Amino acid sequence: MKTIKLIPVLAFIIFSCAGPESKTYTAAEIESESEKANAFFETSFNESLDRSPMFQSYLGIKKDYDKWSDLSEENNARELEITKQLLQTLLDSINPDALDFQTRISYQLFKENAENQISDYKYRHHNYPINQMFGMHTQVASFLINIHRVTDSSDAAAYVSRLNGVASLFDQLIDNLKIREEKGIMPPKFVFPRVIEASNNIIKGAPFEAGEPSTLQADFYGKVDALELPENVKADLKNAADDALKNSVLPAYNKLISFLEGQQERATEEDGIWKLPEGNDYFNVALARTTTTDLTAEEIHEIGLKEVARIHDEMREIMKKVAFEGDLKDFFKYLKEDEQFFYPNTDEGKQAYIDSATVIIENMKARLDELFITKPKADMIVKRVEAFRENSAGSAFYQSPAPDGSRPGTYYANLANTADMPKYDMEALAYHEGLPGHHMDRSIAQELEGIPKFRKFGGYTAYVEGWGLYSELVPKEIGMYSNPYSDYGRLAAELWRACRLVVDTGIHLKKWTREEGIAYYQDNTAASYRDCERMVERHIVMPSQATAYKIGMLKILELREDAKEKLGDSFDIREFHDVVLTSGAVPLNVLEGLVDDWVERKSI
């Protein structure tokens, strides 16, 4: 296995002493300085939370329940100044050498995060705030439906206020898009039909037009009807919502759609981030932030090519097990086309998929004690992606539970077309998005004690997605994937992530076209054309993001194998997983330090 190179300075600062002449601190001094540092982290987090009404709602807090977050350029500048002030306060008031183990990690993570935010400020417009993957155009609806709980009339009134606030929110959004266009930053032409369609979907139905209730009206009416309120109060709330939908939401969406239609005419078909001002420099920074390594784009590309070849060989072993005659491409074709591998594309078939995925999760729950010491307290559910966003959303994703227990963790499966969700992929998907994947790493992080909130609710993509991909492999090691086709599905999922290394860097480093990227996926995987197309389009609008999965998984496996070699019979997989999971999401270099520290302590 290739050793993943890490950015070294952070691990050195955290896991080594300052030097032979450094001062020795008493236990009381360490406790006092650590308390002071953690009070600083708590205050800075809470103040940041106070400035973000939407984040408050994600955490189940109803403080500014009637507001949206500020998207303005002026607010970006204010946040930069706040970050600079916080960094200076940290440096001036906290002594990192007098901190306990976890607080020293917190110190360095806070410091590094602030320094990155300051240095990356010049790239703040090097993204596409509206794209086919995500954006405020769909987030408004998904947020109100999934995050904005209504347990009394004041919650319903706050929902109406948020509906009325969509107009000013979208004005800020359009201003952001204008600023980017003035700088030569605009998504490729293919993005626009997708985002325009998704936006139009929000304003279909009553009260915008005659017919069935719109997505938002149906959600609001359902939530209000579930309340124990007089009928006249319910009616007043519904009327207020309809008025907001017609007089704020509708014109806001129409204005946004009109602007996007204008941009569509001006957009080009160039795909890579290299087309943007300083695009190559930005891509290098994006890779460093995403992977938390110093791997170059070329090195990542080569790792991907080698991993693709290795996984192809393992797939050929599966072909032998099922006595398939033909080459690997024939096997891919067979798996794409044979009806036995798919649920019917009907409501019944889609429900059967959800039911089966739920069974997989329940079976895994029963085996967790074999692999883990610390387990999440929060429950999780499996749910279909809502109809209004299923044509643009990814195949599957996870939403963290509310910290107060009011909302479970949710594994979303996109069943727009069951032909894109084969049965042999189900186990790997459920393990990745649910258990032992993201529900473990995200829920445990939120539930940790003695860790500041910025670490509980923060994230490093290489850690989070590396854990998710690693979690697809671990069940095999305890006898899951008993069906060889499901084991093929696991390999197919890993292959998919290996191809991402190749194609992401292919597009943004080597100037591959969208069509060349699609062709690579089609030649090397069994994925449907739609999945190949959607993945390449994801690479295009989210440069570097998809490289995190394989790089993170490889590092976790490298650390595990190194620990096994050093500890021999005293290696305990449950303890290893506890080390990985009980400090929250961290950069890969910090993770290496945590594992090394555990190995050293066990070796004494």
Number of independent structural domains in the chain:
3
Span 65-107, pLDDT tens digits = 999 999 999 999 999 999 999 999 999 999 999 999 999 999 9
**Domain co-membership, 115 together with 190:** no
Query: Can you read off the two tokens belonging to residue 92?
Result: 């001036």
- The answer to whether residue 586 sits within a structural domain is no
- The range of the structural domain enclosing residue 190 comes to 136-269
Q: How far apart are CA 20 and CA 396, in angstroms?
A: 51
Please report how the helices 426-433 and 347-365 are oriented relative to each other, as an axis angle in degrees rounded to 10: 60
**Domain co-membership, 419 together with 295:** yes
- The answer to whether residue 96 sits within a structural domain is yes
Residue 281's contacts (CB-CB under 8 Å, 6 or more residues apart) are none
SS (H, E, C) 179-213: HHHHCCCCCCCCHHHHHHHHHHHHCCCECCCCCCE
- The answer to whether residue 589 sits within a structural domain is no
| Domain final position from 215, 240, 269 | 269
Q: What is the pLDDT of residue 1?
A: 41
Q: Residue 437: name the closest of 515, 490, 496, 499 by CA.
A: 490
- The answer to whether residue 275 sits within a structural domain is no
- For residue 110, what is the domain's CATH number? 1.20.58
| Domain final position from 243, 269, 295 | 269
Q: Residue 137: name the closest of 125, 127, 129 by CA.
A: 129
**Domain co-membership, 197 together with 324:** no
Q: How far apart are CA 381 and CA 424, in angstroms?
A: 20
**Domain co-membership, 305 together with 249:** no
Q: What is the pLDDT of residue 501?
A: 98
Q: What is the pLDDT of residue 530?
A: 85
Amino acid at site 317: E
- The answer to whether residue 570 sits within a structural domain is no
Q: What is the pTM of this model?
A: 0.89
* Helix, strand, coil fractions of the chain, as percent rounded to 5: 65, 5, 30
Chain centroid to Cα 145, Å, comes to 19
**Domain co-membership, 466 together with 378:** yes
**Domain co-membership, 433 together with 510:** yes
Q: How far apart are CA 376 and CA 577, in angstroms?
A: 13
Question: Could you tell me the mean pLDDT of each successive run of 10 residues in the chain, 604 residues long?
Answer: 48 43 88 98 97 95 97 98 98 97 96 98 97 95 96 98 98 98 97 96 97 97 98 98 98 98 97 96 97 97 98 98 96 93 96 97 97 96 88 83 89 94 95 97 93 92 97 97 96 97 98 97 90 93 97 98 97 98 96 96 90
Structural contact between residues 229 and 216, judged by C-beta atoms closer than 8 angstroms: no
- The answer to whether residue 601 sits within a structural domain is no
Structural contact between residues 201 and 104, judged by C-beta atoms closer than 8 angstroms: no
**Domain co-membership, 439 together with 295:** yes
| Domain final position from 217, 236, 269 | 269
**Domain co-membership, 480 together with 454:** yes
Structural contact between residues 141 and 387, judged by C-beta atoms closer than 8 angstroms: no
Q: What is the pLDDT of residue 391?
A: 76
**Domain co-membership, 159 together with 119:** no
- The answer to whether residue 590 sits within a structural domain is no
Span 511-562, pLDDT tens digits = 999 999 999 999 999 888 888 999 999 999 999 999 999 999 999 999 999 9
**Domain co-membership, 295 together with 344:** yes
- The answer to whether residue 192 sits within a structural domain is yes
Structural contact between residues 59 and 403, judged by C-beta atoms closer than 8 angstroms: yes
**Domain co-membership, 22 together with 94:** yes
